Chain A
Amino acid sequence: MPEVALEGQESLKASRVLCVGAGGLGSPVALYLAAAGVGTLGIVDFDVVDSTNLQRQIIHTSADVGRPKVESAAEKVRAINPHVEVESFKTSLSSDNALEIVSGFDIIVDGTDNFATRYLVNDACVLSGKTYVYASVFRFEGQATVFAAPDGPCYRCLYPEPPPPGMVPSCAEGGVLGVLPGLLGVIQATEAIKLILGSGTSLVGRLLLVDALEMSFREVKLRKNPDCPVCGEDPTLHELIDYEEFCGTRGEERVESSGIPEIQPEELHARLDKGDDILLLDVREQHEREICRLPGQFIPLGDLPERVHELDSSRLIVAYCKVGARSAKAVELLRRIGYRRVYNLAGGINAWAERVDPSLPRY
């Protein structure tokens, strides 16, 4: 293409792009940037491949389950383009390492899955003067833009504060259409390539809103916030902070259950085996019960306030959901209205399936 030509291909070869996260968004980003001929691709991820990732994290295969994601991703990148220099960081991006890692790259592509890391990536990019290619997904919807402070708005200009823990469900709780991060990740890869080539009109100052269910793409304008604490006219944030503290979280799921009495799957199993009278309360939705269930009572969390009288308060109740966040809310609700012997199944039915009954499917 004349828009790329030899000069553009050389620019791609000379470029250094960091992909934060090798998950749903990071998969297509890494694959397409490798195919495009990006010279150096950094990949940050602390996690290992899980079978539940495979519906959307297409850089990994079933043979990779249990392997570090950076290892699996680097292998696929090299298979597509052996000339790509891959720099793997098998670690969590944190306030301690972010500036150092980010400093080695020209463009940062955010494929993370939680608010704390997104604020961390934003602040590290603003403080380092790096361009931040952003996308996020939930269920059937996605958002994408390019943050390029100081000239354009940054993530904090758009969302100055994160939602309180539990207010916006994570993808683990609410689910995500498998192809959606693919769609948004390809948009991120496109923006990164355009930035490298210096071609076209980037998404700086524009937020793309994608609704895969309606297959609609809306575009809205973003404004720079002159009072932004990190990129505004009089910034007050000059170094990285504790982002889990800022977001009020220690991981979205874990936070949900903080302070809520829990029971571990192994302990519950032992007590049930012993014959203890325990009522298992499933607070998920019907479609989730069709995947897997434990014997007991079923009241979706949304119906619980109206149907709480159906529960026998004399019994010990263990509430569960997919990963433990919704059931933590159920436990909190029940305790607030007087149920004393109510516990949350730590890690939900997925943890039960992983640690007690591997015959149950996880999702």
Chain B
Amino acid sequence: MIRVVMPAHLRTLARISGEVTLEVSGAVTQRSVLDALEERYPVLRGTIRDHATKQRRPFIRFFACEEDRSLDPPDEPLPAAVVSGKEPFLVVGAIAGG
């Protein structure tokens, strides 16, 4: 079970509260986690990754186990702690309120 934490505006868009738990078959990578997330919540397509290129949008970052994974290759396996559900996969977005 993979845990995903998303920013507030994306949770609102997907009409969810709290973190999301996903079943991911096969290798647990950024790509497979985000594919599973978008399959469960199609409204999120285009918000985290570009619709066409599937590249991370520049105002979104990915973190796992405190490390910035944003620039990692999308098919690189995520840390074991994320795979086991001990740690969440964080999707962090730019906010500007003050």
| CB of A363 closer than 8 Å to a CB of B | no
| CB of A137 closer than 8 Å to a CB of B | yes
Q: Is the CB of A159 within 8 A of B8?
A: no
Given contacts A160-B58, A220-B66, A221-B66, contact A112 B92 (CB under 8 A): no
Those of A167-192 within 8 Å (CB) of chain B: 167-171, 174, 176, 181
Bound: A241/B94 CA distance, A: 20
Those of B31-88 within 8 Å (CB) of chain A: 47, 57-59, 61, 63, 66-68, 71
Interface size range of chain A in the complex? 35 or more
Residues of B within 8 A of A209 (CB): 90, 92
Q: Which of B57, B68, B90, B96 contacts A114 (CB 8 A)?
A: B96
Bound: A203/B93 CA distance, A: 19
Nearest opposing residue in chain A for B43, CB measure:
A302
Question: Total number of A-B contacts with CB less than 8 angstroms?
Answer: 97
Bound: A143/B92 CA distance, A: 10
| CB of A263 closer than 8 Å to a CB of B | no
Bound: A115/B59 CA distance, A: 11
A98-129 vs B, CB cutoff 8 Å, 1 = contact: the mask equals 00000000000011111100100000000000
Interface size range of chain B in the complex? 20 to 34
Bound: A220/B94 CA distance, A: 14
Residues of A within 8 A of B92 (CB): 143, 207, 209, 220
| CB of A218 closer than 8 Å to a CB of B | yes
Nearest opposing residue in chain A for B15, CB measure:
A302
Q: Which of B12, B57, B59, B68 contacts A174 (CB 8 A)?
A: B12
Bound: A72/B54 CA distance, A: 48
Q: Is the CB of B94 within 8 A of A159?
A: yes
By Cβ-Cβ distance, the 3 closest A-B pairs, closest first, are A171-B97, A161-B58, A138-B95
Which A residues are within 8 Å of any B CB, using their own CB?
21, 23-26, 110-115, 118, 135-143, 158-163, 167-171, 174, 176, 181, 207, 209, 214, 218-223, 252, 302
Q: Would you mind naming 25 contact pairs between A and B with Cβ atoms under 8 Å apart? A: A24-B97, A25-B98, A26-B98, A112-B96, A114-B96, A136-B95, A136-B96, A136-B97, A136-B98, A138-B8, A138-B9, A140-B8, A141-B7, A159-B58, A168-B59, A169-B9, A170-B97, A171-B97, A181-B98, A209-B90, A219-B66, A220-B63, A220-B92, A223-B68, A252-B96
